[in-house]
Every structure is written in structure tokens, then in C-alpha cells.
Amino acid sequence: MIADRDAMLRRLHELRSEHRDLDTVIARLDSSPVDQLQLQRLKKRKLKLKDEIAWVEGRLVPDIIA
């Protein structure tokens, strides 16, 4: 159980790091002429990462029944 939680925390850290890196890359590409298809793919990857981050965070935080 603890090993699973540690693995999920590591995965969450990796996902957040990649998300930040994509932010930087997209910002640089947005300010210069670039292949729009490549930019669109990077933005889709960033959205997918955001969904994965939300899923992992949801798994780490236990449901609280009010």
C-alpha cells in the first residue's frame, strides 16, 4: 500500500514536471513562426497530462463522505 502511494507520488511529480516543460516549449514556439500541427500536438499532450495529473491526485486523496 505504501509502495503504491510512493509510486503514485513519483508519477505525479513526473507528470507535473513534463507539464511545466511543455508550458515552456509551447510558450517559446508560440512567439515564433512554427509548424502549427506540431504546436497543436504539444497542446494536446499538455491537456492529456493535465487529465492524468487530476486522475492521480484523485487516487491519492481519499474520498470524504460528508
How does residue 10 score in pLDDT terms, banded at 50, 70 and 90?
very high
Chain segment 13-63, per-residue pLDDT in tens: 999 999 999 999 999 888 878 888 999 999 999 999 999 999 999 988 876
Tell me if 40 is assigned to some domain. Answer: yes
In terms of residue numbers, what domain contains 11?
A: 2-60
C-alpha cell at 62: 481519499
User: What torsion do the CA atoms of 20, 22, 18, 37 make, to the nearest 10 degrees?
Assistant: 160
> For residue 12, is it within any domain?
yes
Contact 59, 28 (CB under 8 A): no
Residue 44 lies in a domain: yes
Please give the tally of structural domains in the chain: 1
Does some domain include residue 48?
A: yes
**Residue 65 domain flag:** no
Let me know if residue 66 belongs to a domain.
no
